[in-house]
Amino acid sequence: MTNRSRPLLAVAIVAILAAACAASSSPSPSPLATPVAVATPTPVAPAPSADPAADPSGPVDPSPTPAPSADPTPTPAPAVWSKARTVKGLTGCNDLVGTIDDSGTSHLAVSCGGSGKEIRYATSKDGINWTVTSFKAPSGRFDQGPELAFTGSTLTLAFTRVAPGGEGCGSDGLADVGVNVRTRSLPDGAWSATKRIGMAQDHLQNLRVDGSTIHAVVTNEGRSAGSFYERISGDTVSSRVRLGDVTVGIGLRLGDDGLPRLAMDDAPGIRFGTLSGGKLTTRTIPGTAGGGAPLLALGPGNAAYVLWTISAGSGGCIDMGPGPKAGTYLSTNAGGQWSTTKLSKVVGAQSLTMDPATGEVDALVGGFESLQLFVKPAAGGWTHKTLTSDFASSAVVRRNPATGGLLVAFVHETLDGDDPSTVQVMTKG
């Protein structure tokens, strides 16, 4: 064998060895071998194209994250408070009250013109555009302290009619003539004529309406001076219950069971109770000594929320300065027992509403330097927001049952008194 033929022989030997190795690594199955079960593979979505820079030996995610939709649903912007808007036609007015009916239409009422030459009523479907109606008092009379309430499709406007009387320390020189009401059918019915309800010399404190029945809290300076609850059906006072000697600060709501609930001023503190069968049963809310001017809201199961204040005392015609406990407080028995929170050092205009659907409580507190809204959701603590730094002499907060939004209205006053008051409105949601 020559040296030239040795390389050819080496190549042949390598080829023979490779063929032998291939045959030994893939033998033909023996007919005597036991069959092996093979699982049917689960279909897997095709993997996305590999990144050329990626390591091909790395793991592959069998369930890749799907690509984002080409047209995702946008996240709604959070609701924010609008700027305050002036309600035209409600200039030089006070004693502001308001409500929102089931369709989401807002209603406001104020007393205007000095001692109350007229009651003005404003309504709006959007909180921006308002329609104003004026009701002038008869000659020699003044109409004051309006209240608004609705039931079903009927809206009731009530107020106290007064006449010039004697003057003195603590007296405005006006004598109560009685409580009067007007009604209209929603949404576009005409107003009825004025009708007096209750007893002569009654002065309206609070009003609720259930069907054709009016529930009212009044004070009376006649022979039986004091405060009273009245239930009025048609033209008849079907029930009149004396509440005590207190003549201001009585909150009224109707419970889930149709029974009136009341929050009242008293010497030991704020009393809360139920009126049933012509009898009022109350007990003092713990920790409310020195409190007054309660506002009442009810939640599901008749849970009570009471907004009240501790303010300066009064010494005849002279007011004393505020003490260290002065401020605005909220008490509730929603947790099974009464608890009280001090919301603000400010004592002034206040309003309260509670949303039974979400459990949120909204308390409005106004004074000479600000109007603040205190909010407590069902789960969580209190937060607050300053809505305006203006002087609010009276204010209301109401929730829109149709949208869940809030409406705040307030009477804006100038501290120097040079400009007439205006009614301002803010909305959220």
**What is the per-residue pLDDT across 332-391, written as a single tens digit (0 to 9) for each?**
999 899 999 999 999 999 999 999 999 999 999 998 889 999 999 999 999 999 999 989
- pLDDT above 60 for 421: yes
CA proximity to 112, closest of 76, 146, 70, 66: 146
Each residue of 273-290: b (16+ CB within 10 Å) or e? bebeeeebebebbeebeb
The counts of H helices and E strands in the chain are 1, 30
Contact indicator for 244, 226 with CB cutoff of 8 Å: yes
Task: Give me the mean pLDDT over the 285-301 stretch.
Answer: 95
The residue assigned the tokens 């009250």 is 97
> What's residue 415's pLDDT?
75
Q: What is the mean pLDDT of residues 83-105?
A: 96
Q: Which of 98-107, 134-143, 409-418 has the lowest mean pLDDT?
A: 409-418
Give the separation between CA 99 and CA 143, rounded to whole angstroms.
20
**pLDDT band, residue 38 (cuts 50/70/90):** very low
DSSP 182: E
- Picking from 146, 98, 100, 143, the residue whose alpha carbon sits closest to that of residue 125 is 100
Tokens of 18: 């490779």
3-state secondary structure of 22: helix
Name the band, by pLDDT with cuts 50, 70 and 90, for residue 167.
low
| Neighbouring residues of 95: CB distance < 8 A, sequence distance ≥ 6 | 110, 111, 144, 145, 146, 394
**Per-residue pLDDT at 225:** 80
Give dist(CA 62, CA 44) in Å, integer: 7
The predicted structure's pLDDT at residue 66: 43
| Confidence check: pLDDT of 22 > 90 | no
pTM of the prediction? 0.79
Type of residue numbered 378: A
E strand residue ranges, 129-212: 131-136, 142-151, 154-164, 174-185, 195-197, 202-210
Pairwise CA distance, residues 276 & 257, whole Å: 11
Instruction: For 186-206, write each residue's pLDDT tens digit.
Output: 999 999 999 999 988 899 999
**DSSP classification of residue 40:** P
Residues with Cβ within 8 Å of 286's Cβ and at least 6 positions away in sequence, in order, are: 269, 338, 340
pLDDT tens for each residue of 63-74: 444 444 444 555
Higher pLDDT pick, 186 / 315 = 186
DSSP state of 300: G
Check if the beta carbon of residue 423 is closer than 8 Å to that of residue 409. yes
The whole-number pLDDT of residue 261 equals 98
User: How far is residue 85's CA from residue 338's CA, in Å, rounded to a whole number?
Assistant: 38
**Does pLDDT of 93 surpass 70?**
yes
Q: Is 13 helix (H, G, I), strand (E, B) or coil?
A: helix
- Greatest C-alpha distance within the chain: 150
Q: What is the pLDDT of residue 133?
A: 97
The C-alpha torsion from 333 through 339 and 343 to 348, rounded to 10°, is: 60
In this predicted structure, which of 54-63, 85-94, 213-222, 337-346 has the lowest mean pLDDT?
54-63
